[in-house]
Amino acid sequence: MTCFSLLAIYTGTKYNGEEVFSRGDGIVRIVVDTERCKGCGLCESVCPKKIIVMDKENMNSKGFNTAKIINQAECIGCGFCATICPDVAIEIEVD
């Protein structure tokens, strides 16, 4: 039924107690490998939902302030962040 699938695609949900996004093919989580990240900010600039920020309070071992997802539940799973990252530091997991 169309209405049901639309709800499944566009409804935020909980996974292991964390607010995450659910789309048609499963639960979507964005994972940043902070040791690979160099804090260039490209992912922040392309995210249509503005849910990626540079974490000014924490640095990785190389001294970079790294990317942080501030609201998984708002993610639409577009993949722009992972595609643009020059350091392959973002993975989109679909369970």
Query: Which residues lie near ligand SF4 (CB under 6 A)?
Result: 30, 32, 37-43, 46-49, 51-52, 66-67, 75-81, 84-85, 87, 89-90
Which residue's CB is nearer to ligand SF4, number 27 or number 75?
75
CB 22 within 8 A of CB 28: yes
Token pair, residue 16, equals 């292991």
Cα angle 55, 56, 59; round to 5: 75
As measured in angstroms, the least distance from the Cβ of 12 to ligand SF4 is 12
Nearer of residues 8 and 82 to ligand SF4, judged by Cβ: 82
